[in-house]
Amino acid sequence: MILILFIVFLLLLLLGIPIAFSLGLSAFVYILFSDLPLIVIPQKMYAGIDVFVLLSIPGFILAGNLMNASGITGRIIAFCNAILGHIRGGLGLANVGASMLFGGISGTAIADTASIGSVMIPAMEKEGYDTDFSCAVTATSSTIGPIIPPSLPMIIAATLTGLSVGKLFIAGIIPGLLLGMGLMLVTYIISVKRKYPKNKRVPFLTMAKSFYQAFWAIMMTLLILFGIIGGVFTPTEASIVAVVYAILIGLLVYRELKVGMLPKIILESAKMTASLMVLVGFANLFAWIMTVEEIPQLIAESLLNLTQNKFMILLMINILLLFVGAFMETIAALLILFPVLLGVALHVGVDPIQFAMIMVMNLVIGLTTPPVGVCLFVASSIGKISLEKISRAGLPFLLVSLFVLLLVTYVPEISLYLPSLFYE
Amino acid sequence: MKQTLDKTLEWAVVISFILMIVTVMIQVVARYALPWSPHWTEELARFCFIYMVSLGAGLAIKDRAYVNVSSLLDRFSPKAKILMDNLILSAIILLMGTMFIYSIPLVKIVTLQDSASLKINMGFIYFSMTCMGFLVMLYAAFEIFLNLKKSQ
């Protein structure tokens, strides 16, 4: 019976039906075959989106879009270039650095690939970097975005399980930095090997100036982080404060944002939110059916029957998630699998915060692996180069990401040290 | 006709969003600057959010904002692609049509309750699900219509 749910879902997904509606339709078919009432469709949709924490999603999306419209991307890149440009492969390093800073604003990897890629890929090409390399750096480094706070996947993980968004945000800082440094290392080694250019060291004054230009963007990340950590506001409030902050900075400091541009930016952010929330709503319906059928227990039991060893369980979960992440969109995968797998992880004594980190990292790595790596798609359309070439060029970066994932999986302190510092 | 609908919905979505921002800002400012904080802000913000999503869900169809796996679709010929697209849109209409129809009894059930702090009849809030079902269905139908026109 429950097989219908999964088979129909996978079938619809492969046929190209949007993930949100694939979830809804497979649940619909299941309901028709069982004796559940159809009224649960609107009911679970409503219940899925009537959650206060979810309001932070449009907030962070809008804040990111506003900052982008204020010309923040160029400023962040200029700043990173001023600091890192004089090292060999400087522009590549600046690309990674910009992704880290930008990740503190936007919260989604695709936005990072698109906005940084459209500036960086042509610029790197001009300086003589191979296009496949530039695209690979851009795509992989943008996966740092959802790990460094604020992060939409972390908000979703928190909503699903009642974990604190603040704790999850802070837990992402060290893994995000590790990933960033790892990717920079690979960039540097490859650049030395291929003799990619370095720029002249910029005078201190220029560096200071570029820092001042990027300062307001960095401040936004700090405002969000310390606001939440300090208990000044909730994550939802933080996202809205970030929106107001972004409007003020865009209008008054950078002066590239115009009042007339606001409705369009708001509308775009709202439509993106709407498509995400339909997904959240139908995933809630899908998850409800799984709970009725006691699927989470079933999966947990069968995994735990195989082994009770923490090391092995985590390894199995990682392999499963990497596979799922390669095929499915992060938030959809999170919605369906996080509650299911969390039970298993808790059983073998993994901290829920650390587990959320493992899960999000796994799924964002999938954003840069074929066949459904969205960041690869975006990078390939900017660089006008085939997916295969970028994937091949991205292999060393993928290995580093996997290494950091292993560290996060087996060294709990990486995720848990900072939250324990702030919250105990 | 359709353009008027587009424009109306777009403004409704933008206004819900702005109202949501303003409400949450009131909540933050009131907590630190005023001696009392209003208890209705969280609820109002949530309701604005739900309507923003419900009214925007149809527009998102028009923008093709829903993420899908397109690797198989990309291998089809242009003609087959349009046919597939129509099938997909029809499936969406089926699902959202069901949601539309079954949201009506749901709205009737919840009209018996008022919201906790604003005392709004919950029927008005759940009516967003009726709107969502209807609008997504409508916009999916528009898309099919456009596809048919294109292929002629």
Interface check A63 vs B, CB under 8 A: no
SS3 A71: coil
Question: Which pLDDT does position A424 carry in this prediction?
Answer: 67
Taking the alpha carbons of A235, B130, A330, A372 in that order, is the dihedral positive or negative?
negative
Count the Cβ atoms, other than its own, within 10 Å of residue B116: 12
* Interface A:B, Cβ pairs < 8 A: 165
Q: What percent of chain B has pLDDT over 90?
A: 78
From the list A19, A42, A270, which residue is nearest B129 (CB)? A42
Please tell me whether the peptide bond between A150 and the residue prior to it is cis, using omega within 30 degrees of 0: yes
Residues of A in contact with B46 (CB under 8 A): 50-52, 55
A24 to chain B, minimum CA–CA distance in Å? 7
Question: Which pLDDT does position B97 carry in this prediction?
Answer: 97
Interface check A53 vs B, CB under 8 A: no
Q: Using CA coordinates, name the residue in chain A closest to B128.
A: A46
| Token pair recorded at residue A395 | 């292999």
Interface check A195 vs B, CB under 8 A: no
Count the Cβ atoms, other than its own, within 10 Å of residue A118: 14
Question: Which pLDDT does position A370 carry in this prediction?
Answer: 76
Question: Which pLDDT does position A275 carry in this prediction?
Answer: 93
pLDDT tops 90 at residue B148: yes
For residue B139, the surrounding DSSP H or E stretch is helix B122-151
Which residue(s) pair with B121 in the sheet? B114
Q: Using CA coordinates, name the residue in chain A closest to B133.
A: A42
**What does residue A70 show for φ and ψ, rounded to 5 degrees?**
-85, 5
A176 to chain B, minimum CA–CA distance in Å? 26
Residues of A in contact with B24 (CB under 8 A): 55, 59, 236-237, 240
From the list B25, B57, B102, which residue is nearest A274 (CB)? B57
Interface check A260 vs B, CB under 8 A: no
- Mean pLDDT is lowest, of A11-25, A365-379, B13-27, B112-126, for A365-379
Question: Which pLDDT does position A404 carry in this prediction?
Answer: 96
Residues of B in contact with A51 (CB under 8 A): 46
Q: What is the pTM of this model?
A: 0.91
In terms of C-beta density within 10 A (0-12 exposed, 13-18 middle, 19 or more buried), how is residue A165 classed? buried
Question: Which pLDDT does position B151 carry in this prediction?
Answer: 80
DSSP string covering A249-265 = IIIIIS----GGGHHHH
Please tell me whether the peptide bond between A339 and the residue prior to it is cis, using omega within 30 degrees of 0: no
Residues 6+ apart with CB under 8 A from B27: A237, B37, B38, B41, B42, B45
Taking the alpha carbons of B75, B76, B78, B81 in that order, is the dihedral positive or negative?
negative
From the list A16, A39, A271, which residue is nearest B102 (CB)? A39
Question: Which pLDDT does position A221 carry in this prediction?
Answer: 87
- Specify the residue for token string 């424009």: B7
Which long-range contacts (C-beta less than 8 Å, at least 24 apart) are formed by B75-84?
B79/B151, B82/B147, B82/B150, B82/B151, B84/A15, B84/A16
Best probe of the B interface among A275, A279, A284, A285, by most B CBs < 10 A, is A275
Question: Which pLDDT does position B137 carry in this prediction?
Answer: 97
Closest to A249 (Cα-Cα) out of A216, A218, A210: A216
Question: Which pLDDT does position A413 carry in this prediction?
Answer: 95
SS3 B122: helix
Write the CA distances from A35 to A125, A239, A284, B95, B101, integer angstroms: 60, 42, 19, 18, 18
DSSP string covering A349-397 = T--HHHHHHHHHHHHHHGGGSSSS-HHHHHHHHHHT--HHHHHHHTHHH
Maximum separation of any 2 CA atoms in chain B, in Å: 66
Residues 6+ apart with CB under 8 A from A294: none
What per-residue string of b and e applies to A84-99 under the rule 16 or more CB within 10 Å gives b?
bbebbbbbbbbbbbbb
Residues of A in contact with B72 (CB under 8 A): 14-16
Residues of A in contact with B63 (CB under 8 A): 271
- Binned average pLDDT, 10 residues per bin, chain A of 424 residues: 87 90 95 94 96 92 90 89 93 93 79 87 92 94 91 89 90 95 96 92 90 89 87 91 94 93 96 94 92 86 89 93 84 87 91 95 88 82 88 94 96 94 80
Which long-range contacts (C-beta less than 8 Å, at least 24 apart) are formed by B103-111?
B103/A42, B103/B127, B103/B129, B103/B130, B103/B133, B104/B130, B105/A39, B106/A39, B106/A42, B106/A43, B106/A46
Average pLDDT over residues B43-47: 96
Q: Cα separation of A8 and B20, whole Å?
A: 37
| Token pair recorded at residue A25 | 């339709």
Instruction: Verify whether the Cβ–Cβ distance B20 to A58 is below 8 Å.
Output: yes
Instruction: Verify whether the Cβ–Cβ distance B72 to A15 is below 8 Å.
Output: yes
SS3 B32: helix
B72 to chain A, minimum CA–CA distance in Å? 7
Interface check A36 vs B, CB under 8 A: no
Which long-range contacts (C-beta less than 8 Å, at least 24 apart) are formed by A304-309?
A304/A344, A304/A347, A304/A348, A308/A348, A309/A348
Instruction: Verify whether the Cβ–Cβ distance A275 to B27 is below 8 Å.
Output: no
| Token pair recorded at residue A252 | 């008054």
Q: Cα separation of A307 and A310, whole Å?
A: 8
Q: Cα separation of A254 and B86, whole Å?
A: 45
Question: Which pLDDT does position A107 carry in this prediction?
Answer: 65
Q: How many helices (H) and strands (E) does chain B have?
A: 4, 0
Q: Which amino acid is at A302?
A: S
Count the Cβ atoms, other than its own, within 10 Å of residue A236: 28
Question: Which pLDDT does position A99 carry in this prediction?
Answer: 92
Instruction: Verify whether the Cβ–Cβ distance B94 to A15 is below 8 Å.
Output: no
Q: Which amino acid is at A222?
A: L
How many CA atoms, within 13 angstroms, populate the side-chain half-sphere of residue B16?
26
Q: What ipTM does the predicted assembly reach? A: 0.95
SS3 B63: coil
